[in-house]
Structure 1
Amino acid sequence: MAEKLAPEKRHEFLHNGQKVFEWDQTLEEVNMYIDLPPNVQSKKLFYCKIQSKHVEVGIKGNPPYLNHDLTSPVKTGSSFWTIEDDIMHIMLQKRDKGQTWSSPIAGQSQLDPYATDLEQKRLMLERFQEENPGFDFSQAQFTGNCPDPRTFMGGIRSD
């Protein structure tokens, strides 16, 4: 059931109309996916430096490909990066579980308000699912404003 609440598609981070990377998020993490250039012989030349509020990605000996502040702080000890099939996957562990990010990079290429609202609703449903195992919230809908997934006081009430 929880799989139904996972991100259905990745968002594109664009700069001057070109895709820089794709990204998605869950309650606990933000994932970035960077297509690596095919002409680099050794994948060991790539690097990624993850700091609490900053990420830097590049090829050793060259200016960084990405060198930006993050939208929100991350847990550096739980964040990591890997390369598989010519894609660098950066997994950023959110410091504030449930916080809805409108973009991984602070102030740039943010989701529009409608897409941000859809993300917040999906994360809220993910939180309901996590706090109430055995219930299927995949078809649930919100009317009005969706509660903030990071401050929601869990559990189902029967008042």
Structure 2
Amino acid sequence: MDNFDEKSGTVPSKTPWGQWWQTMDEVCIMVDLAEITHPKEIKCIFKPKQIEVNIKGKTIIQGELTDLVHADDAIWTLEDKRQLRICLPKSIATPEKCWKSLLVSQYEADVITFDKMEQKMTLERFQTENPEFDFSGASVTGGYQGGGPKLPS
């Protein structure tokens, strides 16, 4: 699936501290750091439904995640001492579990971004179900909700 994401790109939702995006399998967070930061200055606490990120003693992200994650498999990396990347494996990995926001009532994707997230996750599902095809450059149209196009009523 990583190859699909590399080819198709991400659909990020911008935040005051950086951005977050998702795939069927995980939620990714990128925190832009204003100054050079060392790993010992970062504290990340992951729980199945909670996250807390502290940088140099300041809380950057804290709250209840939109859905459950495999907290024991969550990782963070520091890139060029200027960006913190966090990967949270989703407990339920399906297009129907497209997160509208990173935290409950915080960092919600706007309507257009959320629609693009759902479309990308649908293409990701198509890729998983049909590995002999390449859906990375494909596009789909229509309103999305629950991992697939809405059928006309």
Q: Classify the TM-score, shorter chain.
A: 0.7 to 0.9
1:121 maps to what in 2?
A: 119
Letter in 1 for 2:74: S
Q: Map 1:55-134 onto structure 2 (within 5 A).
A: 55-59=51-55, 62-85=57-80, 86-98=82-94, 99-134=97-132
Q: How far is the alpha carbon of 1:68 from its aligned partner? A: 1.2
CA distance in 2, matches of 1:147, 1:132: 21
Q: Map 1:49-60 onto structure 2 (within 5 A).
A: 49-59=45-55
Contact 2:13 2:113 survives alignment (8 Å): no
Letter in 1 for 2:14: E
Per-residue CA distance 1:77-136 (angstroms, 9 max, x = gap): 221111121211110111111211122121123122232122111100011001111113
CA distance in 2, matches of 1:142, 1:118: 10
Secondary structure at the aligned position of 1:115 is classed as helix
Contact 1:69 1:105 survives alignment (8 Å): yes
5+ residue gaps in structure 2?
Answer: 149-153
Letter in 2 for 1:126: E
Count of aligned residue pairs for this structure pair: 141
| Cα separation, partners in 2 of 1:107 and 1:133, compared to 1, 3 Å | same
| Cα separation, partners in 2 of 1:82 and 1:37, compared to 1, 3 Å | same
CA distance in 2, matches of 1:12, 1:110: 9
Contact 1:32 1:91 survives alignment (8 Å): yes
TM-score, with normalisation over the residues of structure 2? 0.79
TM-score, with normalisation over the residues of structure 1? 0.76
Pick from 6, 12, 35: which aligns with 1:10?
A: 12
Moved over 4 A (4+): none
Larger radius of gyration: 1
Q: CA RMSD in A?
A: 2.3
Pick from 22, 25, 29: which aligns with 1:25?
A: 22
